Structure 1
């Protein structure tokens, strides 16, 4: 009777292990050797004729591949904002600039009620936790230069050969700028004035 129970227990454990291995394999793209004689390279092959140790090892291998593929999936869905500190900070700078729309230009203004052109870009990036120089010429000189074709939201667009004007790029070919005395902060096309270049706070 004892030998019968032992044999039954062994068959039960083997069946359970096989079921577990096949279940994990089905989640990871692994295959059964009876169903697919030529598996895809890298897949885990499950053979129902294996003993318990072989099935356990196959289950462990399939589980490891499952975890690896899960991590790859998670990498694919992570927000770019969490992947790139620049993107996260740039979005804050852009949103700050948008909130200033309609406020007056005042020479030397750094907010909160009025701004000049570089005062706006200064405070936008300060809101994002980045300190940049005060004037448009200093921002042009000190910050990282990028090609205009690579411009992205948060970059600063510098105008005229003397770098006397600057705005913040917000996407879709638009900047926000504090234009000149008597005007208010507004959206403008990026090419509304002669572009000297683009700089990026980093």
Structure 2
């Protein structure tokens, strides 16, 4: 992952030169060049964030996961995504709040973007907190589902036309969740769509 971050960092200088040169192109050609450069920018940023999450030493503190989920759902709904909170039981976990919110947002946006909408459920148990993201999209072919956490993995490269990105969102999310003592599992729903399940240690269990 450090190699990925180094490559992302080293891409900065040539991308800056490419952006400057693109300004001299005709309008139509400039638009295509800048679109590709913007995608390279996103890939570089995601690569660097991936390693920052791996080495982050942010302190963990009690976090109301239900409130965090409600806030994230409001944010992505404001961006035009179809998102809803199906259930949000009061639940507290010891976590790094900023990093964990990034992971929750990544998972919600992933479901909303590729699944046509997302429903989020928060469930509390005496020793754990469970956050479930469900959508009604096409899911992931079973032979490929074990690869979803690979950096830069995309189910269908053609999706870049409609949903540009680096393919690092799930890798970053799992890294963050693991650093918070939790797990992330992804499976196809029997009735169709995808289910992403985050399990975090409850604050009482951590204590």
Indicate whether the TM-score tops 0.5. Answer: no
- Rg larger in structure: 1
Higher share of residues assigned helix: 2
Given the two structures, how large is their TM-score scaled by the length of structure 2? 0.27
TM-score normalised over the length of structure 1: 0.28
Greater per-residue strand proportion: 2
